[in-house]
Chain A
Amino acid sequence: MPEAVETIDVNGRRVLDVSGLPNTAMDAYAPVWWGNALLIMIESMTVLLVVASYFYLRRNFTEWPPPQPRTIPPLFHPVPDLALPTIELVLIVLSCLPMYWTDMAARRNDEAGVKRGLWVMLAIGVAMIALRFFEMQSSHLKFRWDDNAYGSIIWTILGLHLTYLLGAAAEFFIMQMWIVKHSFDPKHGLDVTLLGGYWYWTAATWVLCYGTVYIGARF
């Protein structure tokens, strides 16, 4: 580990020479890690507040989800369909593995591994967005956003999480473009590891949103 050296320069002045220190750092040593972590904190707060709003609004309803009278025939316990969101849940939780491998490849400076991992992650990101697109249909959710407060809040939760998926997919894409066009370096590797942290967070957030919207509605 190179260190800063305290010494005396030609003018007889005491100096701390930091020229031997590295030009890169990983994880919590890097300022960018903190920027990323703090932005994730902001978004975590947003997710927690929107979930809290879900339960706050729930107190106004005797039945949850409320009956859906606008369909034919009317639905008395219109819980949202489970199939697509469960596929998403399995996919996003399992996708933490290739993300982890990509993360580790970045730490090893393994350019080929990072490229491979980013292609896989980009494909998974696009697949998640496509699944979400099919999931966000009134026929699956049983409500439109403007039917009642229940419809409004579940559409908002799903839409909020969709923006996280879009952000992640855009990041996978631009990162891959950079590596393809230029090449890999340690500073770049730090960004890939941060992207990993963001993706794990996106997966964890989906577990929370899934539990709220799909499992919560069944109890």
Chain B
Amino acid sequence: MSEAILHTETTELRAPAQPEAVASPVADELGPENERLALERTWRRPPGFLGWLTTTDHKEIGLRYIKTAFGFFVLAGILALHMRVQLALPKNTFLTNDVYNQFFTTHGTAMMFLFAVPMMEGMGIYLVPLMVGTRNVSFPRLLNFSYYLYLIGGICLFTGLAFNMGPDMGWFAYTPLSGPQYAPGHRMDLWSQMVTCVEISGMAAGVEIVTTVFKQRAPGMSLNRIPIFVWTQLVTSFMIIFAMPAITLCSTMLSMDRLTHLKTHFYNPAEGGDALLWQHLFWFFAHPEVYIIFIPATGFVSDIIIAFSRRRAFGYTALVLSMVATAFIGFGVWVHHMFATPLPRLGQGMFTAASLMIVVPNGVQMFCWLATLWSGRRPRFELPLVWVIAFIVVFLIGGLSGVILASVSVNVQATDTFFVVAHLHYVLIGGAVFPLFGAFYYWFPKWTGRMLNTAAGWWHFALFFIGFNLTFWPMHHLGLRGMTRRRYTYPEETGWMTLNMVATIGAFLMAAGVLVFIVNAMWSRRRGRVAGDNPWQAGTLEWATSSPPPSYNFLYPPTVRGREPLWEPEKEAPVIVGLSREKRQVLSTTVLDAAPHHRYDLAGESIWPFFLAFGVAATLMLGGIFNPWYVPGGIAVITLALFGWFWTSPALRERPSAQPHVAGQPRLWWLGRRGKSADVKSKDE
């Protein structure tokens, strides 16, 4: 692989021996207009509610992910506003202790599990197939499954909160506090099952993205040419695959400890269990999760900087390698969340060193971005770039407080104070939400075909940037003055009121900024300025198709000759013909060089993924909260759903001769479409 990265010119596209004027039979038979009509028929989503439920279009599901995650962001933000109101004055009685506990836990849980990670996955699901020049992800039904499992998990968390069953132990749910002795009732049960649902969904999305990137890139897009955002999604997906099993395992163990029918003792010190086992397993997942959130955001930053400075990335290889290095080191630093626990000194030293080491690849990235900006054309300071520059500033501050916290002695002093709260919001909002808003302004035209309003955009930016710093900067000081996190109130003598009041005002400014954005998005998607295919004159393939893209993404899938295909001097990279119009077929290419290899049939719509998501969620919720005897019943439902899914998948198609042609839409199509519109007579079979 390293060879492929270092090699700048791969020649997997064989040059034609002699460009013949012989028409390809496909292009001969039908012109572009017929091609378009045929593709529209084949890739059309079936109508009605069932069609909505069973859709397998990565753009539709990606946008649903983005909207759903944004909805959870708003809900969790509203909880944060309640917390800020409560803390604005000493001895405030706006929220009770118990409600406050539920609010901060649900806020943290929703922001981490339901907003940040699914949002990054949603961006990847929407953009990756377009950026690599293919028509859909490799396993479209798996995508449908993962979305519904995520949605069900998220709804369960907030439904629980509405019925006074919100988790109240903090988003990392330390045992034994979250164990059966100290957390009776079903609050933590609901939390741990919700987490399991959402992480299973996350792993499915990770598998999806890796396979799509590895096997469906446009011919010519060797690994050293894929857009940096796609690299970030690839690295993130691998991190998901290696990190998320830890959380599904430890949350399952927690449920088994808590279930009265099982009563295992994993985290029960009285019977040889170990409360710290939870912390190890949880942070082995949760620290990489921070990078799962942050690395895709660096992809937004890179692609936006490249587009606005109108030059290729400075140090593409360095950028990619530093991202991979961050991912590797990210798995070796989880113990820095546990410095306040009795760990061996040597171990603490090692994890301090690893945590400090993270600065190096991130510094390399920073310098590459600055060099790209510096050496490109005079950058256009439009909204996406403005958000990115704000990111560089804010994230630098967050990174510096991180370096401070990596030191054991400071860390022990600052553990569980507002200093940590300030740090984590600077890195997570600064590192992920700022680039995300930049990405919204950048890709909104692609999603809707219209530009976001610029004036409203500047208001959004100003309110959010000022509000953010007003909210979280004082928290550094509050932490150093001894204000611990997760306290629902404080006495007046502490002198914490002024800074808390400033933070509360800042929080409302941020909320106002987000409100401006929501109104802007609602208004602009119908009435904004029409964007055209490539409003930013960017170089990557998602801008090569119309805005919004058609259901089949590209009328003729592209081939590429460089890193920024739309900027290549040679205009005439050939387009792909010869894929089936009657089946949902894509070109599968080789992993390293992206040489064309075979034609791959995708699965079509089916109800079984939804049914499976429902079965998995019901099994986890009923079996994990109430009685494990629900599990065998749930497994029966899951097996039925898997069999149905399997029985209707194109990989197991009947022999061509055995398949009758069906005229018109068959009844019960929603049990499984074989990736083609059934009302078209198949020419391939």
Stretch at the interface among B21-29, B403-411, B511-519: B21-29
Most buried by B among A7, A41, A188, A191: A7
Interface residues of A in 117-156 (CB under 8 A from B): 145-153, 155-156
Q: A56–B279 Cα gap in the complex (Å)?
A: 12
Alpha-carbon gap, A31 to B650, bound state (A): 13
Contact at B139–A16, with CB atoms within 8 Å?
no
Q: Which residues of chain B from 624 to 640 have a CB within 8 Å of any chain A CB? A: 635, 639
A57 touches B274 (CB 8 A): yes
> Which B residue's beta carbon lies closest to that of A20?
B578
* A57 with B241, Cβ < 8 A, contacts A11-B27, A34-B214 known: no
Instruction: Decide if A180 is an interface residue (CB 8 Å cutoff).
Output: no
Out of A4, A21, A23, A46, which one reaches B248, CB within 8 Å? A46
Q: In the complex the two chains form, is A15's CB within 8 Å of B646's CB?
A: no
The CA of A22 and the CA of B598, in the complex, are separated in Å by 5
Knowing A29-B590, A45-B242, A50-B249 touch, does A153 contact B24 (C-beta < 8 A)? Answer: no
A191 — which chain B residues lie within 8 A by C-beta?
651-652
Give CA–CA (A5, B24) in the complex, Å: 9
Q: How far is the CB of A183 from chain B (nearest CB, A)?
A: 6
A window 3-26: CB within 8 A of B: 3-11, 13-25
Interchain CB contact under 8 A, A149 and B274 = yes
Indicate which residue in B20, B206, B600, B647 contacts A7 across the interface (CB closer than 8 Å): B20
- With A32-B651, A190-B651 in contact, do A56 and B274 touch (Cβ < 8 Å)? yes
Contact between chains at B14 and A3 (CB < 8 Å): yes
Q: By the criterion CB–CB under 8 Å, are A16 and B27 in contact?
A: no
Q: Does B377 contact A (CB under 8 A)?
A: no
Cβ contact within 8 Å between A16 and B577: yes
B331 to chain A, nearest CB (A): 11
Which residues in window 250-299 of B have CB below 8 A to A?
253, 256, 262-266, 268-269, 271-274, 277, 280-281, 284
Q: Mark A185-201, 1 if CB is under 8 A from B, else 0.
A: 10110110000000000
- Name the B residues within 8 Å of A174 (CB-CB): 642-643, 646-647
Asked if B138 CB lies within 8 Å of chain A CBs, one says yes
Q: Does A170 interact with chain B (Cβ within 8 Å)?
A: yes
Q: Looking at the complex, which one of A4, A34, A53, A178 makes contact with B211 (CB distance below 8 Å)?
A: A34
A60 contacts the other chain (Cβ, under 8 Å)? yes
Do A16 and B273 form a contact, CB below 8 Å, given A29-B588, A152-B256? Answer: no
A38 at the interface (CB under 8 A from B): yes
Contact check: which of A16, A23, A39 meets B598 at CB < 8 Å? A23
Q: Are A187 and B652 in contact (CB under 8 A)?
A: yes
CB within 8 Å for A35 and B138 given contacts A16-B574, A56-B274: yes
Given contacts A29-B588, A150-B272, contact A49 B215 (CB under 8 A): no
A66 in the interface (beta carbon within 8 A) = yes
Task: Point out the residues of chain A lying under 8 angstroms from B281, CB to CB.
Answer: 49, 53
Interface residue from B15, B273, B598 paired with A6 (Cβ < 8 Å): B15
For chain B, what secondary structure do more than half of its interface residues adopt (helix, strand, loop), or is it mixed? mixed
The answer, among A17, A19, A31, A57, for a CB contact under 8 Å with B273, is A57
Min CB distance B308 to A, Å, is 31
> Counting CB contacts under 8 A, is B493 at the interface?
no
Closest to A10 in B: B23
Instruction: Assess the A9–B27 pair: CB atoms within 8 A.
Output: yes
A-side contacts of B456, CB under 8 Å: none
A-B CB pair tally, cutoff 8 Å: 229
Cα distance, A126 to B283, chains bound together (Å): 38
With A6-B16, A9-B24, A182-B655 as given contacts, are A53 and B577 in contact (CB-CB < 8 Å)? Answer: no
Task: Using known A-B contacts A9-B28, A22-B599, determine if residue A34 contacts B215 with beta carbons closer than 8 Å.
Answer: yes
Measured CA separation A146–B265 after assembly (Å): 7
Quick one: given A49-B246, A60-B274, are A19 and B578 in contact (CB under 8 Å)? yes
Does B7 count as interface, using CB distance less than 8 angstroms? Answer: no
Q: Tell me, yes or no, whether B492 is within 8 Å of chain A by CB.
A: no
Whether a CB of chain A sits under 8 angstroms from the CB of B662 is no
A83 within 8 A of B: no
Assembled-state Cα–Cα distance A35/B31 (Å) = 36
Contact of B597 among A21, A38, A151, A178 (CB under 8 A): A21
Q: What residue in chain B is nearest A48 (Cβ atoms)?
A: B245
Cα A39 to Cα B256 in complex, Å, equals: 24
- How close is A205's CB to chain B, nearest CB, in angstroms? 14
CB neighbours (8 Å) of A13 from chain B are 27, 574-575
Taking CB atoms, residues of chain A closer than 8 Å to B268 are 149
Q: Is A72 interfacial (CB-CB < 8 Å)?
A: no
Residues of B within 8 A of A170 (CB): 639, 642-643
Provided the pairs A18-B599, A42-B241 are in contact, do residues A31 and B211 lie with their beta carbons within 8 angstroms? yes
- A30: chain B residues at CB < 8 Å are 215, 588, 600
Asked if A8 and B576 sit within 8 Å, CB to CB, the answer is: no
Residue of A nearest to B263 (CB): A146
User: For residue B142, which residues in chain A have a CB less than 8 angstroms away from its CB?
Assistant: 35
User: Are B647 and A148 in touch, CB under 8 angstroms?
Assistant: no
Q: How far is the CA of A3 from the CA of B14 in the complex (A)?
A: 10
Question: Are B26 and A19 interface neighbours, CB within 8 A?
Answer: yes
Bound CA span A178–B22, Å? 43
What's the minimum C-beta distance from B141 to chain A, rounded to whole angstroms?
Answer: 11
Point out the residues of chain A lying under 8 angstroms from B216, CB to CB: 31
Interface contact A7-B277, CB-CB below 8 Å = no
Q: Shortest CB–CB separation between residue A11 and chain B, in angstroms?
A: 7
Q: Is A61 an interface residue (CB 8 A)?
A: yes
When A42-B245, A45-B242 are in contact, do A25 and B597 touch as well, CB less than 8 Å?
yes
Are B653's CB and A31's CB within 8 A?
no
Partner of B24, one of A15, A166, A182: A15
- Chain B nearest CB from A23 CB (Å) reads 5
Question: CA A110 – CA B588 in complex, angstroms?
Answer: 26
CB within 8 Å of A: which residues of B? 13-16, 19-28, 31-32, 138-139, 142, 203, 206-207, 210-211, 214-216, 219, 241-242, 244-246, 248-249, 253, 256, 262-266, 268-269, 271-274, 277, 280-281, 284, 556, 559, 572-579, 587-588, 590-591, 596-601, 635, 639, 642-643, 646-647, 650-655, 658, 684
The 3 A-B residue pairs with the shortest CB-CB distance in the complex, in nearest-first order: A19-B578, A9-B27, A152-B264
CB<8 Å pairs between A and B, sample of 5:
A8-B19, A8-B21, A14-B574, A53-B249, A149-B268
Residues of A near any B CB (own CB < 8 A): 3-11, 13-25, 28-32, 34-35, 38-39, 41-43, 45-46, 49-50, 53, 56-57, 60-61, 66, 145-153, 155-156, 166, 170, 174, 178, 182-183, 185, 187-188, 190-191
> Could you list 4 further interchain pairs (A-B, Cβ under 8 angstroms) beyond the known A9-B28, A49-B249, A57-B272?
A5-B16, A21-B598, A23-B599, A46-B249
